[in-house]
Amino acid sequence: MTIELIILLMFGSLLLLLLLGVPIGFALGSVAVGAIYFQQGSNALITIAYSTFALMWQILFMTVPLFVFMGAVLQRSGIAGGLYEAAYRWAGSTKGGLALGTVIVGVFFAAMTGITGASTITMGIIAIPSMLSRGYDKKLAVGCVAGSGSLAILIPPSVPMVLLALFTRQSVGKMLMGGILPGLLIAFLFVCYIMINGFLRPKTCPAHPQGFTLKEKIVFSIGFILPLGLIGLVLGSMFFGVATPTEAAALGALGTVGCCILQKKFSWRLIREATLDTFMLTGVVMWIGFGAQCFSTTFTSIGGIDFISELMLGLQVNRWLVLTIITLILLVLGCFLDPTSIIMIAGPISFSILIPLGFDPIWWGVVFVILLECGYLTPPFGFNLFYLKSIVPPDITMGDIINSIWPWFFMLLLGVVILSIFPQVVLFIPNAMTR
Amino acid sequence: MKRLRVFLTAVDAISEWSGKGCAYLVLVGMVILVWEVVSRYAFSHPTMWAHGISQRLFAVYYILAGAYVLRYNRHVSVDTLYNRFSLRTKAILSLVGSIFFFAFCGVLLWTGIDFAWTSLSQLEPDETPWRAPVYPVKIILALGAFLILMQGLAKFCRDLVSAVTGKEEI
C-alpha cells in the first residue's frame, strides 16, 4: 500500500468510528492496532503495550492529576468568595465594574487552576447572580464568565498545555511560562471590551451607586493574599528552577489543601470528593492518551509525519497562509471534539507542519491553546456552554448563553492576531527562565 | 439470567473498589514529591527514591482508572449522531463499537502479558542510579487491561440485553 492510502485509511476509519460513538481513546487505539497488524504483522503489535507503558512512565504526566486535584480542591475551598469581594471593591464603582472584577478573578483563578471547568463554575456561581442582581445585561454577565473562565488553560498551571508539550516533545516548563503574558494580554483585551461596552451601552452595566472608601478597599484586599501566595508558590518555584514542574504541581496541590484549612473549609469529605473527581478526570484524559500514543507512534513509524511535513515543505506556499488554514481547521475541530483529543491528534501533526516552516514551537503551542479556548466557547460542543448552563438561573437559556460568547470569542482571535505580529510577547518569559 | 446478574454485580464491585482504592494514590504521590523538595532545600539532601516511587504510583493510578471510568460510562465520545437514536439503536451501535474496544484492550492485555513476562524474567531495573525494579508496573499494566476488559464485557452484556428487549434492565 502507498503511504497516501494508509494515511487516508487511518483517518477515514478514525472518523467513522468517532461518528459511530466509539469512545475516542478506544477508536484511536483500535485504528493503531489495525494499521500495525495489516502493515507490519502481528509481531509488531507489542508497540501497543510499549506505547501505553511509555505514557504511564512519563514523569511529567504526574502534573496532570496534581493540577486537576488543585482545581478540584479550590473549587470547594471558598477562596473564590473573598477574591471576588476584593476585586469588586477595587473595580465596582466604575461602569461595568463587576464585569471587570470578574475578569480579574478569572486571571487569578487561571493562575491557580489548570482546567477550565473548575475556574468557570467556581467564578460563575458567585459572579453571575451578583451581576444580574445589579441590573447587568445577562449577555454581558454570562459572556464575561465564559471568556474569563477559558483563561484557565492559557495562564499556567494548565493541563492542556502540559499535554500538548508532552505530545509534541517540547519543554513543559517553557510552554507553561509562555502562557503568562498572552494570558494577561487577552485579559486586557477583555477589559477594553468591557470599558467600550460600558461607554456605548451604559445601561447594560450600571456602576455601583456610592462606591467604596479607600479603607474599605484595603480591608477587603485580604482576599488577594491566599491566592497570591499560592500563585507565587507554583509559578515562582517553576520559573526560578527551584522545583521541576511536577514538584511545583505537588506543592500547589498541597498548598490548596492548606488554603482550605486556613479558610476553615477543610473536611475529609471535601478531600474524598476532590480525590474521586480527580481520578475520574485523569482516567478520562489518560485513556484518550493511551489510544493517542499508540496512534501517533504507529503513524510516525509508518512515515506519516515525515510524509506530511515533506508535502507541506514541497508546496512552496506562504507560511502565513498555511498557519491560517490550520487555525481554521482547529476552530472547526473545537466545535465538535474535546480539547484532549484535539491536542493529541492535531497537536503533533500541526507541529510537524508549522515548525519546519519556521514558526517557533513554544509560540505555536501557546497559540494552539488559545484556539482550544475558542473551542471551549463555540457551539454545539463548547464545554463552557454546558458548565454555564448548569449554574445559571433557569430563565437564561442555552440560546442566551451561545449568543453571549461571541465578543469574547473575537477578543481571543484578536489576541492570536496580536501574538502573530509580536511573538516576543509569548517568548519573553520562557527565554528569561533560569533553566 | 441470574448468573449474568451475579457476574455484572461482581465486575462493577471490582472496578468500583479497585478505583476507589487507587484514587487516593494522588495524595500519597503529592506528599512524596513535596517531601523531595523539602528534603532537598531544608536538609540539602535530595532523596533518590521520591521521583521513582511517585512515578510508579501514578503509573498504577492511570492504568487502573480505565475500568472505573468505564463502569460509570464516562469515556469521552463524540455523541452528535449517537444521542439522536432510540435506546435499542444505541445499544446496537454500542455493540458494534465494542468490537473496536475489544480489539484495542484485548491486544493491550495480550501484548501487556508478553511485555510483563519479558521484564519479570530479567528482573528489569529502571535506568536511574536507584535501579529499582520496573516489572511490577508492567504486571499492573496487564492487570489494568484485564480489569477494563472485564468491565467492557459487562457493558457488552448489558447492551446485548437492551438490544434484545429494548429496555435498560440490568
**ipTM for this model:** 0.94
pLDDT given for residue A359 in this prediction = 93
Number of Cβ pairs < 8 A linking chain A and chain B? 194
CB contact under 8 A, B22 and A52: no
The C-alpha atoms of residue A429 and residue A427 are separated, in whole angstroms, by 6
For A236, which DSSP code?
A: I
How do residues A155-175 score in pLDDT, each as one tens digit?
999 999 999 999 999 999 899
**Per-residue confidence at A226, pLDDT binned at 50, 70, 90?**
confident
Dihedral angle over CA of A316, A318, A319, A324, nearest 10: -130
Contact A349, A158 (CB under 8 A): no
Which residues in chain A are closer than 8 Å to B17, comparing Cβ atoms? none
Overall average pLDDT of the A274-296 stretch:
91
The residue of chain B nearest to residue A56, with distances taken between CA atoms, is B59
Q: Taking residues A366-374, what's their average pLDDT?
A: 95
- Average pLDDT over every residue of B35-60: 88
pLDDT 10s digits, B23-34: 999 999 999 999
A294 closest CA partner among B115, B74, B107, B139: B107
Top pLDDT among B71 and B129 is at: B71
Q: Quote the radius of gyration of chain A (alpha carbons, Å).
A: 22
Look at residue A335 in the predicted model and tell me its pLDDT: 87
Q: Which of A153, A96, A157 is nearest to A127 (CA)?
A: A96
The pTM assigned to this predicted structure is: 0.90
Residue B170 has a pLDDT of: 61
Residues of B within 8 A of A61 (CB-CB) are 58, 62
| Higher pLDDT, residue B43 or A38 | A38
pLDDT by residue (tens digit) across B62-84?
Answer: 999 999 999 998 888 877 677 78
**Is the CB of residue A312 less than 8 Å from the CB of residue A353?**
yes
Q: Tally the C-alpha atoms within 13 A of residue B20's C-alpha that lie toward its C-beta.
A: 8
pLDDT over threshold 60, residue B92 = yes
CB pair distance less than 8 Å for B23 and A278:
yes
Q: Is the pLDDT of residue A272 over 90?
A: yes
Q: Which of B58, B61, B99 to mutate to test the interface with A (most CBs of A within 10 A)?
A: B58
Place of cell 445559571: A392
- In the structure grid, which three cell numbers stand for residue A68, read together? 486537576
Instruction: Give CA–CA dist A110/A68, Å, rounded.
Output: 13
Give whole-number Cα distances, A421 to A252, A255, A360, A408, A426, in Å: 34, 38, 13, 20, 11
Report residue B17's pLDDT band, with 50, 70 and 90 as the boundaries.
Answer: very high
Q: What SS3 state is found at A342?
A: helix
User: pLDDT (tens digit, 9 = 90+) per residue, A48-86?
Assistant: 999 999 999 988 889 999 999 998 898 888 788 888 888
Residue A312 has pLDDT above 80, yes or no: no
The residue-averaged pLDDT of A205-224 equals 77
How confident is the model over A199-209, as a mean pLDDT? 81
Q: What is the average pLDDT across A92-98?
A: 80
Contacts of A253 in chain B (CB under 8 A): 26, 30
Predicted pLDDT of residue B126: 83
Asked whether the bond before B136 is cis by omega within 30 degrees of 0, the reply is no
The residue with greater pLDDT, B102 or A72, is B102
A430 or A418: which leads in pLDDT? A418
Backbone phi and psi for residue A334, each to the nearest 5 degrees, phi listed first: -60, -25
Instruction: Output the pLDDT for position B157.
Output: 93
Whether the pLDDT of residue A43 is over 70: the answer is yes
CA distances from A9 to A12, A307, B166 (A): 5, 15, 34
Mean pLDDT of chain B: 90
Please check whether residue A182 is in contact with residue A426, taking contact to mean a CB–CB distance below 8 angstroms: yes
Closest CA to B51 of B37, B63, B62: B37
Buried b / exposed e along A280-315 (16+ C-beta atoms within 10 A): bbbbbbbbbbbbbbbbbbbbebbebbebbbeebeee
Query: What is the SS3 assignment for A175?
Result: helix
Q: What is the DSSP letter of A206?
A: P
Within 10 angstroms of residue A320's Cβ, the number of other Cβ atoms is 11
Under DSSP, the state recorded for A213 is -
Q: Is the pLDDT of residue A254 over 90?
A: yes
Percent of residues, chain A, with pLDDT higher than 90: 43
Residue A12 has pLDDT above 60, yes or no: yes
Q: What is the mean pLDDT of chain A?
A: 89
Average pLDDT over residues B131-142: 91
Q: Give the pLDDT mean for A337-345.
A: 88
pLDDT classification of A434: cutoffs 50, 70, 90: low
User: How would residue A143 be classed by pLDDT, with cut points 50, 70 and 90?
Assistant: very high
Between chains, do B100 and A56 touch, taking CB under 8 Å as contact?
no
Predicted local distance difference test score (pLDDT) of residue B1:
77
Q: Which of residues 242-281 of A touch B (CB under 8 A)?
A: 242-243, 246-247, 249-251, 253-254, 271, 275-276, 278-280
Helix ranges, A201-267 (H): 214-220, 225-231, 237-239, 245-262
Interface of A with B in 20-49 (CB under 8 A): 20-27, 29-30, 32-34, 45-49
Select from A14, A16, A52, A381 the residue whose CB has the most chain B CBs within 10 Å, as the one to mutate to test that interface.
A52
Q: pLDDT category, A435, cuts 50, 70, 90?
A: low
Cell of A344: 493529541
What residues pair up with B133 in beta bridges, in sequence order? B125
